[in-house]
Amino acid sequence: VIKCKAAVAWEAGKPLSIEEVEVAPPKAHEVRIKIIATAVCHTDAYTLSGADPEGCFPVILGHEGAGIVESVGEGVTKVQKGDTVIPLYIPQCGECKFCKNPKTNLCQKIRITQGKGIMPDGTSRFTCKGKQIYHFMGTSTFSEYTVVADISVAKIDAAAPLDKVCLLGCGVSTGYGAAVNTAKVEPGSTCAVFGLGGVGLAVIMGCKIAGASRIIGIDMNKDKYAKAKEFGATECISPQDSKKPIQEVLVEMTDGGVDYSFECIGNVGVMRAALEACHKGWGVSVIIGVAAAGQEISTRPFQLVTGRTWKGTAFGGWKSVESVPKLVTEYMSKKIKIDEFVTHTLPFDKINEAFELMHSGK
């Protein structure tokens, strides 16, 4: 058993608490990882807020991390002690019908236990002050050591800087993949990206790499425009700058609508606007943001009858175990950016400050 520091969420709506936790050794087909770097994501904050129907407490959150394998359980063959790895919240077992289908990356092998905050055998590897602590998204990267299923880990280039490539655990991969895998953005196309946080910037990067000729960023926070343009946005607009609905503004700006739009916020009203900003006959809109529990999307069916397509994506459609190492290689060869996504680097005990910076749009 390893004793180490972790940021524990004891209950919903309260700040994380830095505690000493005990991390049990990995059982069969499990891997114990020393986490070197982790990032914060709105999904962690969503669960912490109490709005997540699958949220269970006390829990160790975090799902954008990178580290080194400390030990492996019985039967683990894909990684060994000392390997450099990224934990994966969408695993890839290679055996379920989802893994065998090229149309999806949503491996279901451990979905039920992962959603309940436990390992595939139904138990937890974390304890603190004598209490069992739940796992989160199969990763729990807000701990100096974590235990994950062996199908939830990608072995990556040992030379990669972990404080950068940890972002491939969620945000950067998700946005980039939404553009290149889910939407399949084409050269010369026009794109609109709603929400210019980390995911939105990654979408812009993907659209640019795919050869889009016009990329319009949409956000109420104008402080984000310079960064969006650095990533490839050709122009940025705010919904507050016009009395007209944003979709009407975009349709006018683009002679009938955009070829591709992306919702990177998790707001059902914006999801509708993103669809309706698409061009009649061929426009495609991709939902990336996670809306709060119980919310529903709506539009007039005629929007779809007249040739628009509504899609969603999880982890950018990447089949995780095989794709994440390739994404690391793309970063190392400078095809994709990661360094530019990092605005602040803080010590682990300042994790609550990291969330405050995220919420304030900084």
Length of the chain counted residue by residue? 362
**CA 120 to CA 57: how far, in whole Å?**
18
Which pLDDT belongs to residue 293? 85
Which pLDDT belongs to residue 53? 84
Tokens 């020393």 label which residue?
34
Could you tell me which of 192, 357, 315, 362 has the C-alpha nearest to residue 263?
192
Angstrom distances, CA of residue 230 to CA of 110, 137, 215, 327, 341 = 39, 32, 12, 20, 11
* Matching CATH number, 2-169+319-352, of 3.90.180.10, 3.40.50.300, 3.40.50.1100, 3.30.465.10: 3.90.180.10
> 38 and 5 in contact (C-beta within 8 Å)?
no
Which pLDDT belongs to residue 216? 98
Which pLDDT belongs to residue 56? 94
Q: Taking each helix axis as running N to C, give the angle between helix 268-276 and helix 246-253, from 0 to 180 degrees, rounded to the nearest 10.
A: 20
Q: Each residue's pLDDT tens digit in the chain (362 positions)? A: 999 999 999 999 999 999 999 999 999 999 999 999 999 999 999 999 998 888 999 999 999 999 999 999 999 999 999 999 999 999 999 999 999 999 999 999 999 999 999 999 999 999 999 999 999 999 999 999 999 999 999 999 999 999 999 999 999 999 999 999 999 999 999 999 999 999 999 999 999 999 999 999 999 999 999 999 999 999 999 999 999 999 999 999 999 999 999 999 999 999 999 999 999 999 999 999 999 889 999 999 999 999 999 999 999 999 999 999 999 999 999 999 999 999 999 999 999 999 999 999 88
**CA 324 to CA 169: how far, in whole Å?**
8
**CA 318 to CA 125: how far, in whole Å?**
28
Angstrom distances, CA of residue 307 to CA of 283, 304, 312 = 7, 5, 17
Which pLDDT belongs to residue 361? 86
* Matching CATH number, 174-314, of 3.40.50.720, 3.40.250.10, 1.20.210.10, 2.60.120.650: 3.40.50.720
Token pair listed for 169:
């655990």
pTM: 0.96
Which pLDDT belongs to residue 51? 87
**CA 267 to CA 199: how far, in whole Å?**
14
What are the residue boundaries of the structural domains of the chain, listed by start? 2-169+319-352, 174-314
Which pLDDT belongs to residue 292? 86
